[in-house]
Amino acid sequence: MADSARQLRLGAFLMATGHHVAAWRHPEVPVDPLDFSVYRRVAQVAEAACFDALFVADSAAVFDGPFASHTARSVYFEPLTLHAALSAITERIGLVATVTTSYNEPYHVARQFASLDHLSGGRSGWNLVTSDLAAEAQNFGRDEHLGHAERYARAREFHRVVTGLWDSWADDAFLRDKASGRFYDPDRLHVLDHRGEHFKVRGPLNVARSPQGRPVVVQAGSSETGRELAAETAEVVFTAQTSLAKAQAFYADLKGRLGQYGRGEDALKIMPGVFVVPGQSESEAQEKFEAFQELVEPQVGVALLGRMLGNFDLSEYPLDGPLPELPLTDSGQRSRQQLLTELAGAENLTLAQLGRRIAGGRGHHSLIGTPRQIADELQAWFEERAADGFNVLVPHLPGGLEDFAALVVPELQRRGLFRREYQGRTLREHLGLARPNNPFFA
């Protein structure tokens, strides 16, 4: 049995219809990505299984390209709106929403997440991204996506402004004294008055300091610039790692950067994504997975591949040919581009084979097997310092998460690796993160 002092964390990663690119075509999957009853069911299943958080992905543009009409990634809920609804029907599970710093303003984002934290009783988290979908630019008055370096410089300042706004009020600022007529103590209010390269924001925020002090900040960048930003600002990192050795190297590198920012190792939780298909037997799990793989049209797999490599149109290349040499994109996912290029070379995969290979996990580590086999792998990564927990990616919703909750979670609990009941009420308490002090009222 694992050391009870250290327990792994689990996030349920939600993508419309499921993580598999062909999930929407499966007969067990509700076909409408805007069917709220599916999300209600997913939230109930995840909370009953004591997951730390629901993690919702997002892009501010429609997935386009020659075969875009063959995917379900054209319509989906805006994450903060969805989480506001889910906060009313859940009590404990965390609610992490993806919001880009490239096409938003800090005041809006600070206000929205602070509001969600109050609505949920301290369960909100912000997945800070810089946008990797170049098409988003054209929805926000730009012809081209911001370059990689500029996106991260803007993100760093954006984070500084948002956290400063979250600390606009001391925890005890609001007197609400009807007898004296004083609603708040003006001495317990801080005006940020930020003037920087990218933003000019006076403040203060018109939402009181949130139950968690600040919502939890999550990041997903694995490039050199992304790692440095995460070491400085993130409290959870979501990453794609394909092997134990690579995950260990990433874990050691990122944890090793924290000291220069005055942070201890426990201040940052690293949660790699893991694509999971469990079955009562190996053959059953494989049959489940192949049922989705058979629904992948080769051109759709290649379209997904081009999107993940950095928004390249690969439709003119032969399906049975190799992955072409592509320039390092300045607007796409640099770390994912490197990961997939290495995978294609190491296994000598054709374009169609690589597209089919990533149709489920999309570059994340994939586990297809029995609950014992899956738990063995998760335990190894956890105990050998490759992960503090995992973002669980399932092929379809809600069925894939129901399978994981019914089959894998009990095995993790039996080993003492995962909680049987919630001990706290806030997302910070679930993750073992300290409530931050307000630096303006120390």
Which residues are annotated as part of the binding site for FMN?
58, 98, 148, 152, 222-223
Question: Collapsing DSSP states into helix, strand and coil, what is residue 368?
Answer: strand
Please tell me the distance from the alpha carbon of residue 9 to that of residue 51, in angstroms, as a whole number: 7
330/241 Cα distance (integer angstroms): 21
**Dist. CA 162–CA 75, nearest whole Å:** 28
Distance CA 159, CA 264 (A): 20
| Identity of the residue numbered 294 | E
b (16+ CB within 10 A) / e for 299-331: bbbbbbbbbbbbbbebeebeeeeebeeeeebbb
**Nearest CA among 253, 199, 245, 200 for reference residue 226:** 253
Residue 72, class by beta-carbon neighbours within 10 Å (0-12 exposed, 13-18 middle, 19+ buried)? buried
Q: Which positions ≥6 away from 241 have C-beta within 8 Å?
A: 247, 250, 272, 364, 365, 386
* SS3 (DSSP) at 286: helix
Task: Note every long-range contact of 26-29, with CB atoms under 8 Å and residues 24 or more positions apart, other chains counting.
Answer: 26/291, 26/292, 26/295, 26/395, 26/396, 28/396, 28/399, 29/396, 29/397, 29/399
Which two structure tokens, joined as six digits, stand for 127?
Answer: 């997945």
How buried is 176 (Cβ within 10 angstroms: 0-12 exposed, 13-18 middle, 19+ buried)? Answer: exposed
DSSP three-state, residue 198: coil
Tokens 């956890």: give the residue.
382
Residues within the annotated binding site? 58, 98, 148, 152, 222-223
